[in-house]
Structure formats: C-alpha cells, structure tokens
C-alpha cells in the first residue's frame, strides 16, 4: 500500500509516529518539479528537518528525495509494494490560507497517481471548513484529516493536545500562547514566533492586520500572560535548545511557563480511519 502524506513542517513528531505505526520502511520525500534552485533549497531544508527527526528516533528506514514522477517510476520498476510518500510544506505557508489550500489541493491531485490514500497533516489553518471539505470531497483518492467528533481541527496545537484541552486552557487564561518543539526549532526568535502566529490568526479574512505587526505585538504584550510548553517525551523535556527558546520567549513578553504533555494520538486516529482493518493496527501500540 502506498500512503501519501501532505503536512506542515511543524508536525514532525506526529508524522514520525504515523510512520512508526505503519511499519513502512521505504520513505519518499517529494521534490518540486522545477528548475528553480531557490525553491529546491527551501524544500530540501524542510525535508531535512523531517529526516533528522526520523534519524533521532533510530528508525530503520530508507529515505529518498524525488519528484512524484520519479517516485512512481521507481515504485513500478522495483515492484515496491509499500511506501510512504511525504510532501512537506513550510510553516510560513499559513500566512496566506488561500494559497496554502490551493497548494494542498494541487499536491493531492499530483499524488493521486501513485498513492492509495492521502493523510493531511493540517487543520483548517485559516480556511473555512466548507473549503477544506470541498478539497477532500473532490479528490481522486480518499483523503483523511485530523478531526474531533467529525469536525476538522483548527490548527496544529489542537492536533497536538486536542480541541477540548485548548479551549479549557484558554478559558482558564485567555492570554495563553502555545509552543511545540518543532515550532520552536523552526522559528527561534521571540518576535518572529509572535509575528508568524499573528499571520496565521489574521489569515485572508483580514490580511491587512498581519501587516501592522508592531501594533499587534504591543497589544499582545499587554494581554498575554503565559506560554504553554508542549512536550511529547522526556527527550523534549530535556532538550536544552527547546527550553532556551521557550525561556527567551517568556522573558521577552513577561510570560509564565506551563508545561503540558503533547500526543500524536489525533494523527494516529486519522490513519486508523483511513484503513481501519489494515495490518498495522496490531503492529504498534499507541
């Protein structure tokens, strides 16, 4: 079986656990079909971040980078029966939800020639539920996305800790910021982290709001009270670089730090929904 994954680079740990659960040891990272060196450099950097996550987990897998066309050719010529084909997109794609959704739709269409189904490592990310549901409905292969009680989750934080937990934390303290290990490693500087979040929040509904960063930073400095530090494992808790990034962010905006346990369960549930009776369901315990 050939599984397609289209994901934001921030969901490294969740996708790592999806890969582990399938037991598939042939991984293809998708390269763009372009001769633009600048784009190639960006995509290779993003792919490398995922590859490093897999290497740290000591997973015995074969990783290759190819275009979809070359991936399909290798699968046919070598008689590969199982593979994971992963298209990783930059975090900053969230800044323009309409363009992000168009890129996801194009990625699904391209992957459909070589995969049996596609898992999306995304929430709504600024798009509406109806827009995302349309893309899923019109795809040539089955597409699954993280959900809670049938509804698509809003963002990567809800994927990491669940919608109910996010809402309870915000009810407890509305001025709560959330940070994950991957997010911290991608955007380390306090102001850059905040600007990126502002852009995600503003989206296409009010894109001009994302331009007025200084004013919004001032408002957020006055209203944010804490940062939730999400860790998936003891390794995350002991990660000095992650701790320093969170500490610097908290110090810059005078925030308290609240540790919280993250999980790949919601992404794994999406995998289960895609193929509920497949052999991997008994291979790996959550």
The pLDDT assigned to 197 comes to: 58
Lowest mean pLDDT among 26-35, 151-160, 221-230, 277-286: 277-286
Contacts for 229 with CB less than 8 Å, ≥ 6 apart: 179, 242, 246, 257, 258, 259, 260
Domain ranges in the chain are 2-155+264-282, 158-261
**H/E segment holding residue 159:** helix 156-161
Percent of the chain exceeding pLDDT 70 equals 80
The listed CATH number (3.40.35, 3.40.50, 1.10.10, 3.90.1570) that belongs to domain 2-155+264-282: 3.40.35
pLDDT in tens, 77-96: 999 999 999 999 988 787 78
53 pLDDT band, cuts 50/70/90, is: confident
Given a cut of 80, whether residue 212 has pLDDT beyond it is no
Looking at every residue in the chain, the average pLDDT score rounds to 84
Q: Are 66 and 31 in contact (CB under 8 A)?
A: yes
Q: How confident is the model over 17-25, as a mean pLDDT? A: 90
pLDDT in tens, 185-208: 876 655 555 555 555 544 444 444
- Residue 61 near residue 26 (C-beta atoms within 8 A): yes
- 106-139 pLDDT tens trace: 999 999 999 999 999 999 988 999 999 999 999 9
For residue 78, what are its two tokens?
């070598």
pLDDT of 207 reads 46
């Amino acid at each position: 079986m050939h599984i397609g994954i289209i994901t934001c680079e921030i969901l490294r740990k969740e996708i790592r656990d999806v890969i582990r659960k399938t037991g598939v040891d042939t991984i293809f990272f998708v390269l763009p079909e372009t001769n633009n060196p600048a784009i190639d450099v960006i995509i290779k950097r993003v792919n490398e971040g995922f590859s490093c996550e897999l290497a740290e987990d000591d997973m015995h897998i074969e990783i290759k980078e190819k275009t979809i066309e070359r991936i399909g050719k290798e699968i046919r010529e070598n008689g590969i029966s199982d593979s994971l084909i992963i298209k990783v997109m930059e975090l900053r794609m969230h800044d323009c939800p309409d363009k992000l959704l168009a890129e996801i739709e194009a990625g699904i269409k391209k992957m459909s020639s070589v995969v049996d189904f596609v898992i999306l490592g995304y929430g709504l990310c600024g798009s509406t539920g109806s827009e995302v549901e349309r893309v899923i409905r019109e795809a040539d292969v089955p597409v699954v996305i993280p959900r809670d009680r049938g509804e698509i989750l809003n963002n990567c934080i809800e994927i990491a800790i669940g919608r109910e937990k996010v809402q309870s934390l915000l009810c407890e303290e509305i001025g709560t910021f959330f940070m994950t290990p991957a997010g911290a490693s991608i955007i380390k500087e306090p102001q850059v982290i905040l600007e990126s979040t502002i852009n995600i929040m503003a989206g296409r509904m009010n894109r001009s709001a994302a331009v007025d960063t200084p004013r919004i930073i001032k408002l957020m400095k006055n209203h944010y009270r804490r940062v939730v530090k999400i860790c998936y494992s003891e390794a995350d808790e002991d990660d000095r670089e992650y701790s320093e990034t969170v500490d610097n962010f908290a110090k810059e905006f005078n925030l308290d730090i609240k540790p919280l346990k993250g999980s790949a369960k919601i992404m794994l549930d999406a995998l289960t929904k895609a193929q509920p009776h497949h052999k991997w369901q008994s291979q790996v315990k959550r």
